[in-house]
Amino acid sequence: MEFKDDAHELAHLYVDGAFNRRELVRRAKQVVGGFAAVTAAMQTMGIPANAQQGCSLSDLTVPADAPDLVVQDIQFAGPASTLFAHYVKPKRESNDPIPAVLVIHENRGLTEHIKDVTRRVARGGFIALGIDLISRQGGTDKFPDPADAGRAYNMTTTEGRLADLQASVAYLRSQPDVRPNSIGSVGFCAGGGNVWALAVSGEAIAANVIYYGSPVPAAAQIANIKGAVMCHYAELDRNLTGQSGGALTALATGQKRFTFNVWEGVGHAFNNDTGAAFNASAACDAWTRTIGFFLTKLYT
């Protein structure tokens, strides 16, 4: 488990006073997973959150030509059409299989922002697949106007989206460098709703991360979830967040493994740095927890 050992070693060296915070940040860039991995290691050590370095937008965004990643736009066969996706891997010396994460977009398709998020996941130490759920309508690239992309998404069906997501999971599991039993998912808004849908379908997703996901599943469906769940909802998004109570209760009574975060003082889509609701502090903290969650649930 060299991946985790490097992060833990850096965390221990920093806590032990071997170097200052600036040097920790510099060295963390050389570790698979970067500062998020080191932060997760510090959390397992019981270091208080207010003693940790916060991230910035520059820590989050990852360019398509990042030298530490292999970035491709790919196509593969789906149940009703060719499926388009943004496929990103961390550059590694080893070909040993590692976990993978399915990234699910909002209701405007596979935007440049979601491609960036897919690359962020890969930089966290995972093979990442950003799926285009508008593939059946020809793909997001056919709809440069966001309103048109939204209308194309609205033409999709619950059943069709689930089938395409399941095909995406199957594609990941078929890759020789992916651990087939270590698959995670993360989605935002409608994508968060699709993470819920995939999880309650009974698909064996080991770690499910939901950002302000809509719709929230009925409490009776929660029993079908097999993996761990982490939710990020917003305090000021009161209507949607208020709808999550039944699911939260069902997660607890069903003894599911879950973490439910309600971020104070922020609204819907606080993670989207291309939108007006973006909140850097909440987004950075939530992302650090997300990567730490994937590290814990998928690498063990």
Q: pLDDT tens-digit profile of 94-130?
A: 889 999 999 999 999 999 999 999 999 999 999 999 9
- Asked whether residue 166 is assigned to any structural domain, the reply reads yes
Asked if residue 16 has pLDDT above 50, the reply is no
Position 1 scores a pLDDT of 30
Amino acid at 12: H
- Asked whether residue 288 is assigned to any structural domain, the reply reads no
- Asked whether residue 257 is assigned to any structural domain, the reply reads yes
Position 24 scores a pLDDT of 76
Position 109 scores a pLDDT of 97
Mean pLDDT of the residues in the chain: 89
Cα 229 from chain centre: 12
Residue 246 in 3-state DSSP? helix
Q: Which of 288, 103, 62, 50 is nearest to 280 (CA)?
A: 288
Position 53 scores a pLDDT of 43
- Asked whether residue 157 is assigned to any structural domain, the reply reads yes
Percent of the chain with pLDDT over 70: 88
Q: What angle (nearest 5°) sits at the alpha carbon of residue 52, between those of residues 51 and 55?
A: 145
Mean pLDDT value across residues 17-38: 72
Percent of the chain with pLDDT over 90: 75
Mean pLDDT value across residues 144-158: 94
Grade residue 59 by pLDDT with cuts at 50, 70 and 90.
Answer: low
Position 98 scores a pLDDT of 96
pTM to 2 decimal places: 0.84
- Asked whether residue 296 is assigned to any structural domain, the reply reads no
pLDDT digits 0-9 by tens, 198-247:
999 999 999 999 999 999 999 999 999 999 999 999 999 999 999 999 99
Asked if residue 252 has pLDDT above 90, the reply is yes
The structural domain count of the chain equals: 1
Cα separation, 188 vs 210, whole angstroms = 6
Q: Which residues pair with 288 in a beta bridge?
A: none
Range of weakest confidence among 46-50, 104-108, 281-285: 46-50
Q: Which of 209, 180, 179, 206 is nearest to 195 (CA)?
A: 209
CATH code of 177's domain? 3.40.50.1820
- Asked whether residue 84 is assigned to any structural domain, the reply reads yes
Q: Which of 134, 237, 233, 142 is nearest to 188 (CA)?
A: 233
Burial degree of 296 (CB within 10 A; 0-12, 13-18, 19+): middle
Position 43 scores a pLDDT of 62
Position 36 scores a pLDDT of 74
Cross-sheet strand order for the sheet of 82-90: 69-77, 82-90, 127-131, 98-104, 178-188, 207-211, 228-234, 258-263
- Asked whether residue 284 is assigned to any structural domain, the reply reads no
Position 99 scores a pLDDT of 97
Which residues span the domain enclosing 260? 68-279
Grade residue 4 by pLDDT with cuts at 50, 70 and 90.
Answer: very low
Grade residue 80 by pLDDT with cuts at 50, 70 and 90.
Answer: very high
Position 300 scores a pLDDT of 81
Cα separation, 299 vs 151, whole angstroms = 38
- Asked whether residue 269 is assigned to any structural domain, the reply reads yes
Grade residue 10 by pLDDT with cuts at 50, 70 and 90.
Answer: confident
